[in-house]
Amino acid sequence: MPKTAKKSTRRSAKKSAGKPAKKSVKNATRKSATISTVGKLSAADKKAADDLVMQLMAIRGKSGEEADVAKFITKQLRAAGAPAKSITEDTAYKLTPIDGKTGNLILKLAGTVKGPRRMLMAHMDTVPICVGCQPKKKGNFVRSADPSTGLGADDRAGVAVTLGTALHILKNKIPHPPLTFLWTVQEEIGLHGARHVKLGSLGNPKLAFNWDGGSAAKLTIGATGGYRMNIEIEGQASHAGNAPEKGISAIAIASVAIADLQKNGWHGLIKKRGKSGTTNVGVINGGAATNVVTDLVTIRAEARSHDPVFRKEIVKQIEKAFQSAVKQVKNSDGKVGKVKIEGRLDYESFRLEKDEPTVVAAMAAVKSIGEKPNPQITNGGVDANWLSARGIPTVTLGCGQMNPHMVTEALDLVAYRQACRIARILATAAE
């Protein structure tokens, strides 16, 4: 990340937290080292935690279709005693690229003890491969009984950690500072829930903790920025047997462009002049018959980098490759096709300093259960990208997910239960 971007993120983080919050966090983290018994799980707690995540992983709910997950969460909260007025659902889905029907779900609890407001969050949606999951527990691991599906622990385990913490506090009337719980939508397709949540609806949290993938001791304090592209290639149709030379193959244009990117080191992992990033041409659609020269191809691609300037250079190289390919593929009349490229920034990169109050609190909580904090910078996007960019410095913690987005996905229940402990500590620590 360039110095200017890093300074901007640091100023935003410090402005959001403020000096009083840092003092409060220091007091809270001192206590967390001695209040680890608050987070300990009894045998009954462990069973309840396991049952909760098993139920959540079995609910269908890919991006844009999170309604059943939101209903389940709301029902559990109301049964635990949460007042109806403390639970709200926003309309963030109206601002997203897909036709979603469900908004972010928010629970706000007034504090019973003094302290800065804390926010605990996770995303409700899964990737499509997890739809139809049949979670099956074997020993300390959970996998899908259907070998053709993923598990959906990304991020139903995060939902279970945060929901379980809220239920524990509500049912047992545990003393706590002001709390906000946020369950977002459409994270997997661009962090849209976090991007469009109204900050005023969150109650001005000073510390924010997001649960997503990895071990319980993993703390993601920085992440890459991502740019998505839609590319439309227009050729000219012709009979592939009688007059192929009259056609302009949109597939051929796409092939030339992608081959050029691969040959010149602009596809996949990119390392140039000490800078790095990634690209991927992930979706190609086109053609309906083998006897017709394909006249239309649509492509979806992405570019990522922690360096916003280098990411823009990557995008320019992708555009250049497709614009050049169009000129190279001609029909017998010398005609060429057309290319239309549209793009948008999905999320900007961020990096929190290790003395950021949210980071300090998260590290203390991990240490208090006997684990060693593992701060990391990720090449994937997380909801924390948008929240940190919008002035709420957010640390992402893991909760035992393994091999996300794959049919081999699994949930490590030992790490998941550790995450439940950490969440309880972070939710109940106070001045």
Percent of the chain exceeding pLDDT 70 equals 90
Average pLDDT over residues 418-427: 97
Q: Answer yes or no: are the C-beta atoms of 134 and 392 closer than 8 Å.
A: no
Summarised one tens digit per residue, pLDDT across range 37-48 is 656 899 999 999
pLDDT of 49 higher than 70: yes
3-state secondary structure of 307: coil
3-state secondary structure of 16: helix
Give domain 225-347's CATH architecture. Answer: 2-Layer Sandwich (3.30)
Q: Where are the beta strands (DSSP E) in 236-387?
A: 268-272, 275-286, 296-305, 338-347, 350-351, 374-378
pLDDT above 60 (res 107): yes
Residue showing tokens 């983290």: 29
Residue 83's contacts (CB-CB under 8 Å, 6 or more residues apart) are none
Q: What is the distance between the alpha carbons of residues 239 and 392, in angstroms, rounded to a whole number?
A: 58
pLDDT of residue 54: 98
The string of pLDDT tens digits covering residues 254-283 is 999 999 999 999 999 999 999 999 999 999
Percent of the chain with pLDDT over 90: 88
* 14 residue type, one letter: K
Instruction: Tell me how crowded residue 304 is: count the other CB atoms within 10 A of its CB.
Output: 24
Q: What is the mean pLDDT of residues 199-220?
A: 96
pLDDT of amino acid 14:
38
Mean pLDDT over 355-377 rounds to: 96
Picking from 163-172, 310-319, 422-431, which range would have the lowest pLDDT averaged per residue? 422-431
Tell which residue, 66, 65, 55, 224, has the closest CA to residue 153: 55
E-strand ranges in 125-206 read: 135-138, 141-144, 179-184
419 confidence band (pLDDT: 50, 70, 90): very high
Q: What is the pLDDT of residue 132?
A: 94
Asked whether the predicted pLDDT for residue 204 surpasses 80, the reply is yes
pLDDT for residue 29 is more than 70: no
Using CA atoms, how far residue 309 sits from 41, 196, 390, in Å, is: 47, 25, 20
* Sequence spans of domains, the chain: 3-224+349-428, 225-347
Per DSSP (E only), the strands in 175-274 are 179-184, 207-212, 218-223, 225-234, 268-272
Burial 15-40, CB ≥16 within 10 A → b, else e: ebbeeebbebbeebbebbeebbebbe
> Cα separation of 208 and 279, whole Å?
30
* Residue appearing with tokens 């890459």: 224
Q: Rounded CA gap, 208 and 117, in Å?
A: 9
Do the two domains 3-224+349-428 and 225-347 of this chain adopt the same fold?
no
Stated as kind and residue range, the H or E segment containing 395 is strand 394-398
- Residue 23 predicted with pLDDT over 50: no
Q: What is the mean pLDDT of residues 192-217?
A: 96
* Poorest-pLDDT segment among 5-9, 21-25, 380-384, 387-391: 5-9
pLDDT at residue 250 is higher than 90: yes
Amino acid at 339: V
The CATH T-level fold of domain 3-224+349-428 is: Aminopeptidase (3.40.630)
User: Could you give the CA distance from residue 35 to residue 79 in angstroms, rounded to a whole number?
Assistant: 28
- For residue 12, the model assigns a pLDDT of 39
Closest CA to 103 of 223, 208, 195, 175: 195
pLDDT of residue 4 exceeding 70, the answer is no
Q: The tokens of 13 are what?
A: 């983080």
Tens digits of residue pLDDT in 278-336: 999 999 999 999 999 999 999 999 999 999 999 999 999 999 999 999 999 999 999 99
User: Three-class SS of residue 87?
Assistant: strand
**pLDDT number for residue 213:** 86
pLDDT at residue 31 greater than cutoff 80: no
pLDDT at 37: 60
For all residues of the chain together, what is the average pLDDT? 91
Q: Identify the band that residue 35 occupies on the pLDDT scale cut at 50, 70 and 90.
A: very low
